[in-house]
């Protein structure tokens, strides 16, 4: 069976992800996966610039990822720049620097391409037997894919990522009731148009913060590369409410929230709750797959 060892790197606004797999026509076998909280968008996201501290963190992580690819004797590396990079005035200079320092060529993709890859990744783990909304919460953008038995009906990538909100709005710790409303209104002003006329019972969370929600409820890691996992709806809502009302110190003590997500978790929870209310969601499922797996599938 002819196979090729491929590495996929997702250079996200908050987190950089590496996935190495042996890919053939028959199957995909995962060899290695890891992530690093680079916080690429911190400090300059809303000004459309990647700041020098973030560049240094990114180069360090990409150098490590390159060494992991060498160690695992990867045949091909496919790396993708998303929201923070595509919107930055120095985004192209940044990816040229990565190539110079590490030898890794980064492709800057559009929001629509990103959403399509996310759908392909989720489709690997989920049988779309009913109309559903796929949601991928990022630091710079959030992707929504409205899909059912016939495939994708509509998709969008919106610049409503948690890091954008965190850096634009002055928020307390913990959030006040007024600030929760302020965040909802900020999201609504930018996302309501896409939600208009859509309704479905199932929300599918693509990895990321939904992985954290799963682990908070189940007290164990989300299994990798399996079918989607349904979460008890009431438990899910209670978990969102706890995150929204929690303080930074409370989240820091929760072993099921990884460090990179602790600061902005309340914003992700508010956004998720807003989507549930907008669409009339009654069922929550989590997919361990997203953009990286979608690239391998395609």
Which DSSP string corresponds to 180-227? HHHHHHHHHHHHHHHHTT---SEEEEESHHHHHHHHHHHSSPPPTTS-
pLDDT in the model for residue 223? 87
Q: Average pLDDT, stretch 246-262?
A: 96
Domain final residue, candidates 81, 109, 137 = 109
Looking at residue 14, which CATH number applies to its domain? 3.30.420.40
Is residue 114 a part of any domain in this protein? no
Q: Average pLDDT, stretch 186-192?
A: 98
Percent of the chain with pLDDT strictly greater than 70: 100
> pLDDT at residue 284 above 80?
yes
Distance between CA 50 and CA 140 in Å, rounded? 12
> pLDDT at residue 79 above 80?
yes
Domain final residue, candidates 109, 136, 155 = 109
* 15-64 pLDDT, tens digit each: 999 999 999 988 899 999 999 999 999 999 999 999 999 999 999 999 99
Is residue 69 a part of any domain in this protein? yes
Residues 159 and 255 in one domain: yes
Is residue 17 a part of any domain in this protein? yes
Nearest Cα neighbor of 102 from 154, 159, 60, 55 is 60
Looking at residue 168, which CATH number applies to its domain? 3.30.420.150
Question: What is the DSSP code (8-state) at residue 79?
Answer: E
Instruction: pLDDT band for 191, please (50, 70, 90 cuts).
Output: very high
Are residues 79 and 106 in contact, defined by beta-carbon separation less than 8 angstroms?
Answer: yes
Domain final residue, candidates 91, 109, 127 = 109
Total tally of structural domains belonging to the chain: 2
Distance between CA 226 and CA 294 in Å, rounded? 14
Q: Average pLDDT, stretch 59-80?
A: 98
Residues 123 and 98 in one domain: no
pLDDT in the model for residue 1? 59
Distance between CA 206 and CA 215 in Å, rounded? 14
Residues 11 and 127 in one domain: no
Residues 126 and 99 in one domain: no
Q: Average pLDDT, stretch 83-99?
A: 98
> pLDDT at residue 241 above 70?
yes
pTM above 0.85, yes or no: yes
Residues 161 and 68 in one domain: no
Of the two residues 271 and 226, the one the predictor is more confident about is: 271
Q: Give the pair of three-digit tokens for residue 98.
A: 């990565």
Which residues constitute the domain of residue 280?
119-297
> pLDDT at residue 225 above 80?
no
pLDDT in the model for residue 41? 97
Residues 56 and 151 in one domain: no
Distance between CA 66 and CA 221 in Å, rounded? 26
* 105-154 pLDDT, tens digit each: 999 999 999 999 999 999 999 999 999 999 999 999 999 999 999 999 99
């Amino acid at each position: 069976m002819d196979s090729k060892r491929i590495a996929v790197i997702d250079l996200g606004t908050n987190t950089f992800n590496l996935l190495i797999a042996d890919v053939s026509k028959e199957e995909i076998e995962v060899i290695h996966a890891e992530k690093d909280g680079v916080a690429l968008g911190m400090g300059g996201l809303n000004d459309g610039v990647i700041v020098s501290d973030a560049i240094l963190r990114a180069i360090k992580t990409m150098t490590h990822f390159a060494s992991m690819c060498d160690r695992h004797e990867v045949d091909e590396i496919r790396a993708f720049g998303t929201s923070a990079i595509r919107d930055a005035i120095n985004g192209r200079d940044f990816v040229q620097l990565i190539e110079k320092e590490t030898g890794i060529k980064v492709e800057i993709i559009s929001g629509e391409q990103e959403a399509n890859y996310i759908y392909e990744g989720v489709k690997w783990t989920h049988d779309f037997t009913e109309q559903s909304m796929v949601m991928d919460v990022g630091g710079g953008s959030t992707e929504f894919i409205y899909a059912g038995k016939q495939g994708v009906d509509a998709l969008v990538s919106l610049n409503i990522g948690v890091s954008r909100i965190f850096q634009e709005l002055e928020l307390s710790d913990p959030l006040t009731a007024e600030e929760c409303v302020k965040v909802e209104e900020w999201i609504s002003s930018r996302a309501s148009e896409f939600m208009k006329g859509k309704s479905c019972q199932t929300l599918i969370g693509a990895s990321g913060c939904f992985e954290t929600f799963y682990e908070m409820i189940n007290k164990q890691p989300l299994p990798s590369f399996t079918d989607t996992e349904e979460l008890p709806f009431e438990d899910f809502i209670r978990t969102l409410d706890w995150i929204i009302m929690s303080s930074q110190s409370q989240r820091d003590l929760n072993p099921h929230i990884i460090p990179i997500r602790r600061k902005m978790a309340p914003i992700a929870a508010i956004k998720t709750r807003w989507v549930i209310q907008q669409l009339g969601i009654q069922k929550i499922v989590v997919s361990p797959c997203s953009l990286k797996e979608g690239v391998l599938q395609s």
